[in-house]
Amino acid sequence: MDFRTIIAKRREGMAHSKEELEFLANGAASGDIPDYQLSAWLMAAYLKPLTDAETGMLTVAMADSGERLDLTGVPKPWVDKHSTGGVGDKTTLVLAPLLAACGLTVVKMSGRGLGITGGTIDKLHAIPGFSSDLTPKKMIAQAKKIGIAVAGQTNHLAPADKALYALRDVTETVSSLPLIVSSILSKKIAGGAETVILDVKCGSGSFNPTREQAEKLADALVSVGKHAGLRVFAGITDMDQPLGRTVGNALEVAEAIEVLTKPEAELRSNTKRFRELCRYYGAIALRVSGVASSSGEALERIEDTLKGGRALEKANEWIKAQGATVDFGDTTWIPRAAVQLDLHAQIAGCVGKVDARTIGEIALDLGAGRKTKDDEIDLSAGLEIHVKVGDLISQDHKLATIHAATQELADAAMARLIHAIQVQTAPIPPRPILIRPA
């Protein structure tokens, strides 16, 4: 097969056959199709989106571009939770150990940063020694032993996604519904998942700026997933403002540790909002896997596990098993950027906007994400956002803190940040985190 014909067919919006999609997935995985041709196909697929049938075929072809994890013998229930990507989304860092501490087995593959959205794997790499390069054998052994294993995209499982994901990140082709569906679900199928809980993000800091787009993505994920034999639950949550207080890899790890170590009352308000999301999806996971019989019971179990320190213990067991040389009991190892610069409110009033997209772009400019495939990330760069929409604040209230490697980077970030957070005189209600329940 000549890949130029496949690019041309996509460019003209002609249907791909199963064989063509398999050729694409296998060629991406093996490296036989060069990046420039894959990039051309991705842009054509962005402009002429794949049909549902093509998306289903591409998903399976990508899942079969490497091994499929066989979880036989790993204690059940198995649950995987995955986000479609958002600014400040560090949910896996809390939820994976929390669920494992509640008796579920969490085996999952996570991604690097994608566009303006940070990636779980990049955040985990802010932990000294942590390795996400797990072989299927090691994933299974670790899951059997401690109930949790989180791997990055490797050449073993869904390697086609590894190749396409890295190219989508730098070719502005991320926010295509069929490409997101096939990327997420191919990893779930290859990872041996049975039950998948999807957090579909909606708002400026995600790939779904409108509710209509988020609903379409949620519905497509559920239907393609079901077709592939998965039990899929998809909720839609707010991503018009960043999730939690922090954006940037090490900062987000620090915030996840706060949720695992501190009582809710001691958390700052944006971190409480992040905790609420973890509780919500945690309770869904316990219910759909039959560990709890009602929402009330599930929430109680989640709270007890957090408060009793068992989620923290499990998190430490997990990161140690994957090579960490530090633990979450202490945070002195967390790298801190050389420069911190605060933004204060010029007027008293109500926070009317905290634009997640601009904040994600600023984080990227500060070095928290990649602009080209092989860019090195600055793990300590990012932002803390101290307010959320609906907060009533006085003049001079601290709105945000920039964490930058240099004063020059901090000043450039500040020039954009002053437009991203708006304070107005008219009050506005807070934005609920949950838009559509799973």
Q: Taking the complex as a whole, how short is the minimal distance between the CB of residue 115 and ligand URA, in angstroms?
A: 9
Q: Which residues of 314-345 are buried (b: 16+ CB within 10 A; e: fewer)?
A: bbbbbbebbebebbbeeeeebbebebebebeb
Tell me the two tokens of residue 160.
């086609």
Give backbone dihedrals phi and psi of 340, rounded to 5 degrees, phi first: -120, 135
Order of strands, sheet of 421-424, starting from the edge strand that comes earlier in the sequence: 392-393, 349-354, 421-424
Nearest residue to 112 via CA among 168, 64, 55, 173? 168
Catalytic residue among 10, 16, 90, 168: 168
Catalytic residue among 81, 82, 108, 386: 82
Decide: 205 and 117 in contact? Cβ < 8 Å. yes
SS (H, E, C) 316-329: HHHHHHCCCCCCCC
Where does 213-289 show beta strands of DSSP type E? 231-238, 246-247
List Cβ neighbours of 392 (8 Å cut-off, separation of 6 or more): 349, 350, 427
Does the annotation count 161 as an active-site position?
yes
Considering beta carbons, is residue 109 or 423 the nearer one to ligand URA? 109
List Cβ neighbours of 212 (8 Å cut-off, separation of 6 or more): none
State the Cα–Cα distance between residues 361 and 193, nearest whole angstrom. 33
Considering beta carbons, is residue 166 or 400 the nearer one to ligand URA? 166
Does the annotation count 187 as an active-site position?
yes
Catalytic residue among 161, 169, 238, 378: 161
Q: Taking the complex as a whole, how short is the minimal distance between the CB of residue 320 and ligand URA, in angstroms?
A: 26
Give backbone dihedrals phi and psi of 373, rounded to 5 degrees, phi first: -55, -40
- For strand 231-238 and strand 434-436, is the pairing parallel, antiparallel, or unpaired? antiparallel
Catalytic residue among 83, 132, 182, 183: 183
Q: Taking the complex as a whole, how short is the minimal distance between the CB of residue 125 and ligand URA, in angstroms?
A: 16
The residue at minimum Cβ distance from ligand URA is 183
Considering beta carbons, is residue 42 or 312 the nearer one to ligand URA? 42
Q: Taking the complex as a whole, how short is the minimal distance between the CB of residue 313 and ligand URA, in angstroms?
A: 28
Considering beta carbons, is residue 92 or 380 the nearer one to ligand URA? 92
Considering beta carbons, is residue 80 or 361 the nearer one to ligand URA? 80
Q: Under DSSP, is residue 38 helix (H, G, I), strand (E, B) or coil?
A: helix
Catalytic residue among 123, 187, 188, 201: 187
Q: Taking the complex as a whole, how short is the minimal distance between the CB of residue 69 and ligand URA, in angstroms?
A: 16
Binding site for ligand URA (CB under 6 A): 84-85, 111, 114, 180, 183-184, 187
Q: Taking the complex as a whole, how short is the minimal distance between the CB of residue 164 and ligand URA, in angstroms?
A: 9
Q: Taking the complex as a whole, how short is the minimal distance between the CB of residue 110 and ligand URA, in angstroms?
A: 7
Considering beta carbons, is residue 175 or 358 the nearer one to ligand URA? 175
Considering beta carbons, is residue 183 or 322 the nearer one to ligand URA? 183
Does the annotation count 65 as an active-site position?
no
Nearest residue to 79 via CA among 290, 304, 318? 290
Q: Taking the complex as a whole, how short is the minimal distance between the CB of residue 141 and ligand URA, in angstroms?
A: 24
Q: Which residues of 89-110 are buried (b: 16+ CB within 10 A; e: fewer)?
A: bbbbbbbbbbbbbbebbbbbbb
Considering beta carbons, is residue 220 or 404 the nearer one to ligand URA? 220
State the Cα–Cα distance between residues 386 and 393, nearest whole angstrom. 11
Q: Under DSSP, is residue 130 helix (H, G, I), strand (E, B) or coil?
A: coil
- Catalytic positions are 82, 161, 168, 183, 187
